[in-house]
Structure 1
Amino acid sequence: MIVFGIFLISMIVMGICIYQETQTFNDFTLGGRRLKALVAAFSAEASDMSGWLFLGLPGAVYASGIGSTWIVVGLLIGTYLNWRFVAPRLRTYTELANNSVTLSAYLEERFEDDSRILRIVSATVTVVFFTVYVASGLVAGGLLFNQIFDVGFQFGLTVFAGVMVLYSVLGGFRAVSTSHLVQGTLMFLAACALPAIGIWQLGGFGALQDALGRETPALLDMGAKPSFVGDGWNAGHSLGAIAVISMLAWGLGYFGQPHILARFMGIRSTRDIPAARRIGVSWAVMTLAGASLIGLLGIALLQEPLTDPETVFIELSKQLATPWFTGVLLVAILAAIKSTADSQLLVTATSITEDFFHAFINRRASDAALLWVVRGTVIGVGLVAYVIALNGGAVLEIVAYAWAGFGSAFGPVLLLSLYWPRMTKAGAMAGILSGALTVILWKHIDPLLGPLQSGVYEMVPGVLVATAAALSFGTFVGRPPRRSWVGTMEQVDTSEMAGSPGRV
């Protein structure tokens, strides 16, 4: 409890310290585009992983062996490609596009949409999905407090939500991103330390392999999906091609996640991106590998099989570490949950303020007025998410579609906007709508396909449909933007490869 208290108080102090430095709307929403490589890298990766890193992934490996790590392969590929091909161009284009602070504002400027419909649609998708996403993070935080301290779900939810909203209101983007440096470090240490302790206690990797082999060799087979039956694991069945493709497809979601893309928009210059990419990808490799290893160690070290596989990290922490160090390890779960929820909270409030209030209600609002509005909006979105979260687990059913929804709706459109100068606003609109609708409706379409489907992840059809729609409408409907982006594209690519100083 002392460790958790220190962590939560330090987050509030960080927000107070940064409050005086947050003087403009741009400071609050993108940190004045002054994020250094280290902070940008940790913030992007910490805001990406959420509690899934220490709950969902170890639980999946505990239940089904290393065949579940195909999703890790997909995420690592997606992380690298996002940093390599999206970050430099998006950083430059959003500054050129009227210094855009939201993805919706960028798309409107990029496609010269005078009707402003594209902005409304993309902002609505962002606000609706992210409000629910924030609520799911609050639910996870409340459940974590209740499970560890037995203080009641509602009390834990209130404490978690109150602290997160408070430092977000005070310090905005810089407070959130700087806190991610602390939280990302905690997550990294936990993902490395707990497996190291477990391997040492077990007697080495050879002993781990022997222990898993005694259960079933399928636990170490990437092509198998063993299952837990009774009091042990059996060989299960082979992973089909559809299952592997579905897990790899998680990596496609990176190109359309607004809370990750905001870190690219806020980095100091394109010169910092190669260093940030190396840091971010290395962090992702180590933490994902460590989290996967925790699932395997749970099979080997825990005496009694778990009824809930997602508690394997918590149970191993209690068994292998002292109470003080267990507190540090469990704070890493809280950090993972909070680093995603606060990013989504800030993106949602920024979108409401910039894409609705500033764009349609008061286009002449002063910078000071916008700063107060966005702070009030953070509180408002936090309250709405809190009310939704009080319903508990029901929210989590919707969140299963959020990653695929964002990835399908925005991913193909964003990539085409950065790499296809002749892309039209009709193509962008078609891509966003078709991608989002495919993901939402897929659970109704999937059963109708019969033997042609085997539970394919919504991301696969969502991205395919969105890409086809964007290319078709982008080619045959509407006119390309009058402004040429070709020269800018070449300038960005040349600048990053040469490592030229300053902003592009």
Structure 2
Amino acid sequence: MNNVCIVLAILIYLAALLIMGVSFAKENNTVDDYYLGGRKLGPFVTAMSAEASDMSSWLLMGLPGVAYASGVCDVFWTALGLGIGTYVNWLFVAKRLRKYSEKNNSVTVPDFFERRFKDKSHALLLISSLIIVVFFIPYVGSGFAACGKLFSTLFGLDYSIAMLASAAIIVGYTATGGFLAASTTDFVQSIIMTIALISVVGFGLHAVGGVDAVSTYSMSLDGYISLLGMHDFATGTRVSYGGIITIISTMAWGLGYFGMPHILLRFMAIENPEKIKLSRRISTVWVFIAMAIAIFIGVMTRTMVHVGAIEELADSERGIIAIAQKLSETGLPQAFLAGIILAGILACTMSTCDSQMLAASSSVSENIIHETLGVQLSEHMQMVLARVVLIVISAVGIFIARDPNSSVFMIVSFAWAGFGAAFGPIMLLALFWKRANKYGAIAGMLGGGAMVFIWKFLIKPLGGVFGIYELLPGFIVALVLCVVVSLVTPAPEKEIVDEFNSVS
């Protein structure tokens, strides 16, 4: 009966997503509506949908898993970098991008780059679109895989069936409702994620005997709660984290925000630019609190294992699943709550996946087929094409996710670095440096993206100082290339400078 309650809670959640997707279908009269919601997002939906689409299953599984495995050091510096990156992105990029993208009538991030630099060759449009496709389709596949693994683990379903069912639901509400459906469901999913975090902490603390029990046991593990070291459970000793270079490299995760298409689109879609300050406060506070709770859950899970409240985890990232399953054994109401917690894990994954599908779909249908190749279609047929492309991209993602042993979080880390390096520096310079030109943007975009591959597969394996996260060298290379190439090539035309000044 307890499993029935869990399944019921998850089914209610999934049905609600599909209903919302269908209800927003009538709002999509143009491609602008489908991909950008007609720039009608309110401040709360903008804030929470941006952060829900950002966090993914990394929030409820990745962060607690790393904290459980080795302590708080690594996750603290990662979370701090991400929190600062979130705030700075909202503070400097959001409002200016919203005004600039409306000024030049941009619907997608590749649109913005082309129209900002008045690139009539479509080179910037094509390059940025291909970068989105290259990094987002595997990212979408990793989301499908995460959902499939969750369902197959919980209910003993065949992985392929579980993955296909999850993908069908995400594709269903996204393809029908478009950006408004994705943003609104992301807002709802952020609430589910919050309920999941609070519920897990409450049950876990009750099981171990309170915060003091967690603190006492954690303090007894040498290096476990240090900010400069980690605990090695194999030897029971403290190990060094790696010093200032490692800390800077870890915090560099925050640089990725400046280039994330699915987050930047939220900035472009907010209805009133003057409400961005409110959105910034909401999102920043939620991100810091949510990540802090997620780290604490990892530490608390280690204590729960120590006192025998749950069994030792075979996979450190399955802590919340184990806690939810233990909660479901305490009664029917608790089983329903456990279902909500597990729905929260789904929410993390789905809220990222839907946004990525839309971003990749817009790059193919709008930026490559319509604008680069010049295929002219009626408004109705553009809408049809948008949905067809989204389904095709999802099919490729399903093909990538067919292997149940694929590494979800390695894909996420690599894609985050790719977007951060290829788009981040170019976005900042496009918004704040009027001397930047299309030649610099192209050089920076190609150089930053290439460096991520070079560093990841050729330089990083050398170890030592070269073991830093590939986003940092990629970001630096893109920034330097864009500045240098812009300075040694002709200055932007007066029309471009005048538009830049008008937005300022």
Deviations 1:114-163 (A, max 9, x none): 11111111110011211111011111111111011111110111110001
Helix, strand or coil at the partner of 2:436:
coil
Helix, strand or coil at the partner of 1:380:
helix
Q: d(CA) in 1 for partners of 2:184 and 2:88? A: 24
Look up the match of 2:99: 92
Look up the match of 2:140: 134
Work out which of the residue numbers 379, 387, 395 in structure 1 matches 2:399: 387
Structure 1 pair 447/268, CA: closer, same or farther in 2 (3 Å)? closer
AA at the equivalent of 2:293: G
- Name which of structure 1's ranges 377-386 and 301-310 shifts more when overlaid on structure 2: 301-310
Look up the match of 1:119: 125
Q: d(CA) in 2 for partners of 1:486 and 1:457? A: 38
Q: d(CA) in 1 for partners of 2:40 and 2:446? A: 33
Deviations 1:33-65 (A, max 9, x none): 000000011110000011111111100000111
For the 8 Å contact 2:222–2:237, the answer to whether it is kept is: no
1:265 aligns to 2:268 (yes or no): yes
AA at the equivalent of 2:438: K
Measured after TM superposition, the shift of residue 448 of structure 1 is 7.7
Q: d(CA) in 2 for partners of 1:487 and 1:75? A: 32
Work out which of the residue numbers 56, 59, 84 in structure 2 matches 1:53: 59
Measured after TM superposition, the shift of residue 112 of structure 1 is 1.1
- Report how many residues are paired: 487
Look up the match of 2:4: none
AA at the equivalent of 1:297: M
Work out which of the residue numbers 15, 24, 30 in structure 2 matches 1:9: 15
Look up the match of 2:423: 410
Q: d(CA) in 1 for partners of 2:368 and 2:24? A: 27
Helix, strand or coil at the partner of 1:115:
coil
Structure 1 pair 93/241, CA: closer, same or farther in 2 (3 Å)? same
Look up the match of 2:164: 158
1:430 aligns to 2:437 (yes or no): no
Measured after TM superposition, the shift of residue 203 of structure 1 is 3.4
Measured after TM superposition, the shift of residue 399 of structure 1 is 4.1
Look up the match of 2:358: 346
Measured after TM superposition, the shift of residue 189 of structure 1 is 1.7
Q: d(CA) in 1 for partners of 2:217 and 2:166? A: 39
1:419 aligns to 2:432 (yes or no): yes
Q: d(CA) in 2 for partners of 1:448 and 1:202? A: 41
- Name which of structure 1's ranges 380-389 and 416-425 shifts more when overlaid on structure 2: 380-389
Work out which of the residue numbers 305, 313, 324 in structure 2 matches 1:306: 313
Structure 1 pair 489/193, CA: closer, same or farther in 2 (3 Å)? farther
Q: d(CA) in 1 for partners of 2:184 and 2:464? A: 49
Measured after TM superposition, the shift of residue 354 of structure 1 is 1.0
Helix, strand or coil at the partner of 2:494:
coil
- Name which of structure 1's ranges 264-273 and 392-401 shifts more when overlaid on structure 2: 392-401
Q: d(CA) in 1 for partners of 2:383 and 2:135? A: 24
- Name which of structure 1's ranges 324-333 and 235-244 shifts more when overlaid on structure 2: 235-244
1:317 aligns to 2:324 (yes or no): yes
For the 8 Å contact 2:460–2:468, the answer to whether it is kept is: no
Deviations 1:143-202 (A, max 9, x none): 111011111110111110001111111110000101011100011121223123323443
Look up the match of 1:335: 347
Deviations 1:287-326 (A, max 9, x none): 1111101000011112343221111111122234522111
The equivalences for 1:175-190 within 5 A come to 175-190=181-196
Q: d(CA) in 1 for partners of 2:140 and 2:440? A: 30
Q: d(CA) in 1 for partners of 2:443 and 2:379? A: 34
Deviations 1:198-256 (A, max 9, x none): 23443332221112123x141111111112217xx432334422221121010000000
Structure 1 pair 465/208, CA: closer, same or farther in 2 (3 Å)? same
Measured after TM superposition, the shift of residue 477 of structure 1 is 1.8
Q: d(CA) in 1 for partners of 2:77 and 2:144? A: 28
Helix, strand or coil at the partner of 1:422:
coil
For the 8 Å contact 1:91–1:269, the answer to whether it is kept is: no
Between the aligned residues of both structures, percent identity stands at: 38
TM-score, normalization: structure 1? 0.93
Q: d(CA) in 1 for partners of 2:240 and 2:502? A: 49
Q: d(CA) in 1 for partners of 2:36 and 2:229? A: 44
AA at the equivalent of 2:448: G
Deviations 1:353-397 (A, max 9, x none): 110121034454222221111011111111111112113334645
TM-score, normalization: structure 2? 0.93
Look up the match of 2:289: 286
Look up the match of 1:469: 481
For the 8 Å contact 2:197–2:290, the answer to whether it is kept is: yes
Helix, strand or coil at the partner of 2:71:
helix
Helix, strand or coil at the partner of 1:400:
helix
Q: d(CA) in 1 for partners of 2:501 and 2:300? A: 47
AA at the equivalent of 1:402: A
Q: d(CA) in 1 for partners of 2:458 and 2:288? A: 35
Helix, strand or coil at the partner of 1:312:
helix
Look up the match of 2:3: none
Look up the match of 1:498: none
Q: d(CA) in 1 for partners of 2:405 and 2:47? A: 31
- Name which of structure 1's ranges 16-25 and 396-405 shifts more when overlaid on structure 2: 396-405
Q: d(CA) in 1 for partners of 2:500 and 2:435? A: 14
Deviations 1:92-120 (A, max 9, x none): 111111x1111111111111111111111
Measured after TM superposition, the shift of residue 2 of structure 1 is 0.9
- Ranges of 4+ aligned residues in structure 1 off by more than 6 Å: none
1:225 aligns to 2:225 (yes or no): no
AA at the equivalent of 2:319: V
Structure 1 pair 274/486, CA: closer, same or farther in 2 (3 Å)? farther
For the 8 Å contact 1:111–1:481, the answer to whether it is kept is: no
